[in-house]
Structure 1
Amino acid sequence: MTENEITYIIRKGIFNVYNGLGPGLLESVYHKILIYELEDLGLEVKSEILLPVKYGEVLFDCNFRIDLLIEDKVIVELKSVKNLEDIHYKQLNTYLKLSDKKLGLLVNFNTDKILDSIKRVANNLEH
């Protein structure tokens, strides 16, 4: 599957979770339920993947963790905040660079319109 095909299924899972739970819960709740939903949709999901930082030739464990890695291709970063801030986009961009992945989704579940709160991030560009 391509990254675009994967994100189509991920978005379906996000809509299912949002429609089932609504806004206002902790990020950890959406995290657990979304894993269940995405696996139910047939996707391979890895959670809380440690992401080392390479500086020069040395790898450092700086305790960075990718929320979800789907099909070893797409990073999903979950939030449950009042507003997405620039730092959230920068965080996902950095995770994409460090992991050498092409595409990520930034999702804020604490919203009245989930469609407007799923942001596609690729190659340091918001799409």
Structure 2
Amino acid sequence: MNTDERDPLTAAVLAAAFEVSNQLGHGFLEAVYQRALLRELALRDVAVEREVAFKIRYKDAEIGTYVADLVVDRRVIVELKAVEALSPSHMGQCLNYLRASGLRVGLVLNFGRPKLEFKRLAL
């Protein structure tokens, strides 16, 4: 089963991210890739929101907020990086964001290498 059959939304995000990576290459700041990915997703008619805030709760009290880089179709959190390599802490960060948001799927995209690096996470 290919990715498109299993999860067409994450496949669409990844296709857009690869297009951004192919067009821009590596070496820009994260904000540049965020704006380019927003544009590419819009061109593909994929609903996306930028810098979406989610409340963090602890024992029935709101203790803070976190801001997701992108939320696609109100279903997928996308965290962007422009680093030499993804680390376990990047995956942990995305998993925490999924727990806080109540969403089930996250993508961590790293534009900091010559070839786009990505991880798909699910709760």
Fold similarity call, TM over 0.5: yes
Is 1:107 aligned with 2:109?
Answer: yes
Q: Secondary structure at the match of 2:20?
A: helix
TM-score, normalisation: structure 1: 0.89
| Counterpart Cα distance in 2 of 1:61 and 1:55 | 9
Which structure 1 residue ranges, 5 or more long, are not aligned? none
Match of 1:122? 122
Identity in percent: 34
1:60 equivalent among 56, 63, 71: 63
Which amino acid counterpart does residue 109 of structure 1 have in structure 2?
F
Equivalent residues in 2 for 1:2-81, closer than 5 Å: 4-62=7-65, 64-81=66-83
Amino acid at match of 2:76: V
CA contact 1:3–1:103 (8 Å) conserved in 2: no
1:100/1:3 CA distance change after superposition, 3 Å: farther
Q: SS at 1:69's partner residue?
A: strand
Instruction: Please give the secondary structure, in 2, of the residue aligned with 1:14.
Output: helix
1:112 is displaced (CA, Å) by: 1.8
Alignment coverage as a number of residue pairs: 119
